[in-house]
Amino acid sequence: MSRHGDISSSEDTVGVCVFQYPMPRLHKTVEVIENAKKICDIVKGTKMGLPGMDLIVFPEYSTMGIMYDRDEMFDTACQIPGTLTDMFGEACREAQVWGVFSLTGEQHEEHPNKNPYNTLVLINDEGEIVEKYRKLLPWTPIEGWTPGNLGTVVTEGPKGMKVSMIICDDGNYPEIWRDCAMRGAELIIRPQGYMYPCKEQQVQVSKTMAFCNQVYVAVANASGFDGVYTYFGHSAIVGADGRTLGECGTEDNGIQYAQLSISGIRDSRANDQSQNQLFKLTHRGYTGVYANGDGDKGVAECPFEFYRTWVNDPLEAQRMAERVTRPTIGVKCCPVAGIPAPSELEEEEDIKELAHELNLT
C-alpha cells in the first residue's frame, strides 16, 4: 500500500521526496557551481531527516535558474557528464540516494551554433547517470531550447520501480504521459518551473494524468520570484488512482514525501478492470467483441484519424492543427521577442511563391 506521513520505506515501497527549491537568479558559471553545492547539501541533509528516502527530485531550473540573457545562457551551458553531474553524483553516492537534477541548459552537439537543450538527469545511489531526458516540448513562445531528440525514456529506478521523466510543459500533452506509461513507466517524474497564473490547471493535470495512465506522479515545482515570474510551488506526489498523497503550499524549501508501493501499482494494472485505461485502449470494446463471437482481444486498430495522420504524414498533421488554430508561429496582437510577426512570414511566403512562378527557384 502506498502511504504518506512517515519517514520510512520498505522493500516494497520506494520513498520519494519532492523538494520545492526557490527559483535562483544566476548569471555566471561560478554562481551555478555555488548553487549546485547548496543542492548537494540538501540531498545529504534531507536523507538524514528522511532515512527511508530512496529518491529526491528537484525542480526544473533549480540548478542554473532561467538565463534571460542569451549570452549568459550559452556561457553557462554545460556538458553531460561534466562538473555539475559529478557533484550531484558524489552527493547521491555519499547519501546513498537516487536524485533527479535539472540542467538548463545542456550544450547542443553543435554548441555554440545551436541553442542548448533543457535536460534532466537521473543519478543512482552509486553516483552514476542512469537516465538522461531532453525536454521534448519547450514552453514556446518563451523558451528557446532546442526540442529534445531522445524521445521518452524508461529506466529501472530504485528498488526496481520503472521510472520516466518529463519536464514542465511536456505535461500539458496527454501523449507524453501515455507514451511513458505504455512503455512501462510506473512513476513519472515531472520537475517544473511553473508560474502564475497557471496554478490550478497544473495541479489538476498531474492528478488527471496519474489516473488516466495508472501511474505514480512526482511533481517538483519551483517557488519564489526571480524578477520576472512568480512560481506557485504546490509540489506534490500523486497516487496511481489520481488522488494526492501529499502536496506543498507556496513555501520555499518545502518538501513532500511518500512511500510508493511497487506491488500495489503492478497489482492494479494486472487486476483492475473498469478503470484500466492502459489495457482498455488497445482492447477496445472487448466485452461486446467477445459477445459477438469475434475473439477475446477487442479491437486493436487505432480509431483516431489525427494520430494515424501524424505518424504517416507529419506535415499534413501540422496542417490539420493550423486549420483549427493559425498558420504562423507569431500572433500579431501580442508580439513576443524573437518570434516573427505574421506579416513578416506572409511576406516571405509571397516572395517564395513569386520566385517559384518566375522559375527563380
CA distance 354 to 18: 56
The dihedral over CA atoms of 156, 275, 281, 265, expressed in degrees to the nearest 10, equals 10
Residue type, 88: F
Q: Which three cell numbers stand for residue 100?
A: 533527479
Bridge partners, residue 217, by sequence: 188, 238
Pairing state of beta strands 155-156 and 129-134?
unpaired
14 Cβ neighbours under 8 A, 6+ residues apart:
54, 55, 157, 158, 159, 161, 187, 259, 260, 262
User: Which of 17, 40, 47, 60 is flagged as catalytic?
Assistant: 60
Question: Is residue 237 within a helix (H) or strand (E), and if so which, with residue range?
Answer: strand 236-238
Using DSSP, state whether 19 is helix, strand or coil. strand
**63, 62, 64, 58: which is closest to 18 by C-alpha?**
58
DSSP 8-class letter at 22: B
User: Which of 47, 132, 135, 207 is flagged as catalytic?
Assistant: 135
CA distance 320 to 167: 26
User: Which of 168, 207, 247, 248 is flagged as catalytic?
Assistant: 168
Look up 168 and say whether it is catalytic: yes
Look up 302 and say whether it is catalytic: no
Alpha-helical segments (H) within the chain:
29-49, 70-76, 83-95, 174-182, 199-213, 262-271, 277-282, 286-291, 305-312, 314-324, 342-357
The count of C-alpha atoms lying within 13 angstroms of the C-alpha of 132, restricted to the half-sphere facing its C-beta, is: 16
Cβ atoms of 158 and 98 within 8 Å: the answer is yes
Is the peptide bond preceding residue 191 cis, with omega within 30 degrees of 0?
A: no
A 10 A CB-CB count for 280 gives: 15
Look up 349 and say whether it is catalytic: no
The count of C-alpha atoms lying within 13 angstroms of the C-alpha of 305, restricted to the half-sphere facing its C-beta, is: 3
CA distance 345 to 350: 9
Catalytic residues: 60, 135, 168
